[in-house]
Amino acid sequence: MTRWRLRRSDAGLRLGKLRAMGTEKFTWADLMADWIADVRVFALYFPSRFALPVDAAATEALRAFGAATPKSASVDFWDPADEHFSVALGLFGLRTPPAMVLITGLREHMSGEAGAAESVYCISFADSAILSDRASLAAAVNVAYEVLVQCDKAEIASYIRRRKIKELLAAIGRGAGAFRDEIVHLHPKFSLPGGLSIELGN
């Protein structure tokens, strides 16, 4: 199994290839481990590779979001010139760009704490209509951020693992009640490292 590391270019994040090690599956959680260790939420945008208006709108909006949130939230962008761009998309269960991913951070977990890995999940949006409209994008990022921060991470992850949509929505209702119905209309995908996922509103 090929293993990867994150490296930074002038245009954003890229994958760096490491030698193959064993047969254990490499996931986005492995890739992002150091990057999410000290944050509560990590927002990541994959551009279209065609410099479309959606890219400018999403980049501007996410930079504003990053500037207006605590340091416990981090925002970054993938370099569209990365030769392993498609591999990076695949690690997050995404087919094509543009797409936005918000990942649970591990700031509230002690280093090496048991159960931390089992509580990591991400919320992704790949609808260009949402990403290209600043108001819709703001709604998507704000709702996902509140769910990631307010809801019980281990509980959410357990329902994704068991593909329990009703229970997932109930957990969102308990933790971030005002956003439960709103997030369904934004058609997000909740995913675990390794590929298990639930799509809402489809």
Give the tens place of pLDDT for each residue, 61-77: 999 999 999 888 999 99
pLDDT of residue 109: 55
pTM for this structure? 0.92
Percent of the chain scored above 70 by pLDDT? 92
What is the average pLDDT value for the chain, to the nearest integer?
90
Residues 6 or more apart in contact with residue 43 via CB below 8 angstroms? 62, 65, 66, 73, 74, 75, 76, 100, 101, 102, 103, 141, 145
pLDDT in tens, 149-201: 999 999 999 999 999 999 999 999 999 888 888 999 999 999 999 999 999 98
Per-residue pLDDT reduced to its tens digit, 6-65: 999 999 999 998 755 554 688 999 999 999 999 999 999 999 999 999 999 999 999 999
Q: Where are the domains of the chain?
A: 27-199
- Reduced to 3 states, what is the DSSP secondary structure of residue 141? helix
pLDDT digits (tens, 9 = 90+) for 170-183: 999 999 888 888 99
